[in-house]
Amino acid sequence: MTAQEAQVEVTAVESAHRRAARRHRVLVHLTQLAVLVVVLGGWQLTVQDNPRSVILYGVPSGILGRLTTWVTEGTAIGSLGDQIATTLEEALIGFAIGTALGIVCGVALGRVRFLSEVFGPFIKVLNAIPRIVLGAVFVLAFGLGIESKILLVIVLVFFGVFFNAFQGTREVDRNFIANAGILGASRWQVTSQVVLPSAFTWIIASLHVSFGFALIGAIVGEFLGATSGLGVLIKQAEGTFDANGVWAAMVIMAVVALAAEWLITRLENRLLRWRPAQLAGPDL
């Protein structure tokens, strides 16, 4: 077989693999759509003829109507865009700060045994405190502004990122660290050029879960006490037995979470290009 024939064969195999991958993606998306249609259709048919069930459980057509009303006419506390912007501001600021603190503290305690021995028990105790209690404390201490929600988001995000960064730092191959030291690398160079890249898979993995916690923290904080935001919409809908309103706010949260998940996945793929495809696995 000549080199040209071998190249043609390789190209044909790659094309076949791409076609198979496209067919698989189409099948996955069609199956997802079918599941969604079955669930929503079954929900609509089961509930729509019972007024009591409509009040208690909501109905997909009513949820769509509530979303349409919020978009076109606004909500009882202002435009829908303002409520989404408020919740996103709290979630994003808290997510950024909590992630940064979690990475710094996780790597520091993972690299310096003395620090982990001193602060480890305190971190475990703080992690055991129910978040709802901290949320109430933050609202009492900082009022109904965004500060109390941001603090709650920071707490929720911090621990997930911290424990992954800590464990990722501890899992770095000691031979890599020893070899870097032999080559004359300083402690900072070892941390920044060996430890952090090796632990980055762990850190990125924590971000997928942590942004969901960021949204939860913002919503719970608004639920405990706020003047605007999606959490306030949910609380008002609950107070008036408006199940459609509760579900409508949850749909908005789901859309925001999916958009954030897509962005984090893109970031992961860009930063971890070196990772073999078989280690990447399917996206959840």
Span 44-72, pLDDT tens digits: 888 888 888 788 888 888 889 889 988 88
Interior/surface letters 39-72, b for 16+ CB within 10 angstroms, e for the rest: eeeebeeebeeeeeebeeebbbebbeebbeebee
Q: How confident is the model at residue 278 (pLDDT cuts 50, 70, 90)?
A: very low
Write the pLDDT tens digit of every residue in 90-134.
Answer: 999 999 999 999 999 998 898 888 888 888 888 888 888 888 888
Could you tell me the two tokens for 8? 């043609």
- For residue 79, the 8-state DSSP code is -
pLDDT value at 217 more than 50: yes
**How much is the pTM?**
0.80
Residue 184 Rama label (left phi>0; alpha psi -120 to 50; beta): left
Retrieve residue 126's tokens.
């703080």
What is the number of other CB atoms lying within 10 angstroms of the CB of residue 91?
31
Q: Give CA–CA dist 95/206, Å, rounded.
A: 12
Tell me the domain boundaries of the chain.
Answer: 1-47, 58-280
Asked if pLDDT for residue 280 goes beyond 70, the answer is no
Q: Which residue has the higher pLDDT, 93 or 206?
A: 93
pLDDT band at 9 (very low <50, low <70, confident <90, very high): low
Q: Which CATH superfamily is domain 58-280 in?
A: MetI-like (1.10.3720.10)
